[in-house]
Amino acid sequence: MALMTSRFADGLAVGSDLVEAAETAVGQALSRLSGQADLVCFFICGDDPEDVARAGQAAMKLAPEAHVIGCSATGVIGDGQGVELTPAVSAWAATLEGARLTTFALETLTAEDRFVVVGLPERNGDDHVAILLADPYTFPTDAFVERSVDVLGDLPLVGGLANGLQGRGSVRLFADGEIYTEGAIGVLLSGPVRVSTVVSQGCRPIGPSMVVTASEENLLLELAGQPALARLEDIVSELDEDDRELVASGLQIGLAMDEYAERHERGDFLIRGVIGIDPEREAVAIGDIVEIGRTVRFQVRDAATADEDLYDLLDAHREELGKVDGALLFSCNGRGSAMFGTADHDPVALRDTLGPIGVAGFFAAGEVGPVAGHNHVHGFTASVLVFSSAAGGP
């Protein structure tokens, strides 16, 4: 649990009575703050979407003076632990003196042959970050995030794709007293607030970096002048048995974010999945469109690599920032017990590296966060929004 004197605090309650759990979790977070809450976030895992809605309504009423956002999920994070596929509510509260908060709700409209997202707040020069919670079934999150630079400039987006235990139709989003069954919601943080991001994709490279010399949409046809499939087969043939098993269980590819870097190592790539091969064309299909001239490198992911990656990134972040006060954690629902054997891994990693700060979040169906200054939607990733003290501050 967070310290009683903290500007950031969290709470967690497990139980089938979701209204009671919401009141308990939010009450815990609010009671542990040193001042009045300016922002409250909560996350609800429950079997019945209507129960989730009632719990969310109850949660929003507990902090009438604060801006409040939340969503449904298949698992929640709070009080230093994760709870998966079990009725529970986690909450997070923050005192952000002087900060300006703007909640928003996004919806998608059809205009001729294209979609238009409406509801974005106007930008200001002192905007720092927007937290985004989206329904993956009704909101085009991938397209919106990838093209966010067109309307948001360099504003970082951090958050996750909500879900519900009943899948499509069971997602519930909450913002300042309103309940939404589709679209996306969030909050824009501006003014005197110090935030930063950590995005741990949990992969390590195999084989060399290679330039794409021929491609067609999401098909890699040639790498470094040779058929892409042949290049991949050569790389796999040189791996040990353990890494070959990782390739078989889910090969990834990294897209270099800085083409001018002399070397491309772990952390220098945007990770995307390898989704198939085309033997006739000797091509490799990936989960993104890659242009000719882009540098790529194949990757593998396992628990040990993901663990090391998250701890290394958090340690480096702590050294750079100094005192860290709180964090929001959006962890893939493919991590937790599925990857590490425990739902607690990611929140424990934050506590180990950043200290006993207020941390809450949820297990997402996709994570939103910037890599090398560009916003992306990720998978199997831990996306963290870190709040720290201003230089010379308390």
Concatenate the DSSP letters of all residues of 108-129 into one string.
EEEETTEEEEE-PPPP-TTEEE
Q: Tokens 């596929």 — which residue?
A: 85
Token pair in block for residue 352: 């180990």
User: Residue 1's pLDDT is what?
Assistant: 44
User: Residue 113's pLDDT is what?
Assistant: 76
Interval 348-357: pLDDT, tens:
999 999 999 9
Selected residue with higher pLDDT from 320 and 384: 384
Interval 89-114: pLDDT, tens:
999 999 999 999 999 999 998 877 78
Q: Say which amino acid occupies 115.
A: F
3-state secondary structure of 62: coil
**CA 385 to CA 328: how far, in whole Å?**
5
Interval 148-158: pLDDT, tens:
998 899 999 99
Residue 185: HSE in the Cβ half-sphere, 13 Å Cα cutoff? 22
Residue 141: HSE in the Cβ half-sphere, 13 Å Cα cutoff? 28
Helical H runs in 113-262?
141-146, 149-152, 228-237, 241-250
**Residue 47 banded pLDDT, cuts 50, 70, 90:** very high
User: Residue 114's pLDDT is what?
Assistant: 80
Helical H runs in 196-285?
228-237, 241-250
**CA 277 to CA 282: how far, in whole Å?**
7
Enter the pTM of the model.
0.93
For residue 76, is pLDDT > 50? yes
**CA 5 to CA 52: how far, in whole Å?**
31
**CA 347 to CA 327: how far, in whole Å?**
10
Interval 240-273: pLDDT, tens:
999 999 999 889 999 998 765 555 555 678 999 9
Token pair in block for residue 269: 């790539």
User: Residue 266's pLDDT is what?
Assistant: 58
For residue 392, is pLDDT > 50? no
- Residue 259 phi/psi, 5-degree rounding, is -65, -15
3-state secondary structure of 26: helix
Selected residue with higher pLDDT from 266 and 282: 282
Interval 205-254: pLDDT, tens:
999 999 999 999 999 999 999 999 999 999 999 999 999 999 998 899 99
List Cα–Cα distances, 2 to 80, 243, 321, 382, in angstroms: 9, 40, 19, 21
Q: Say which amino acid occupies 69.
A: I
Is residue 253 within 8 A of residue 219, CB to CB? The reply is no
Percent of the chain residues topping a pLDDT of 90: 86
SS (H, E, C) 292-350: CCCEEEEEECCHHHHHHHHHHHHHHHHHHHCCEEEEEEEEECCCHHHHHCCCCHHHHHH
Residues forming beta bridges with residue 205, ordered by sequence position: 299
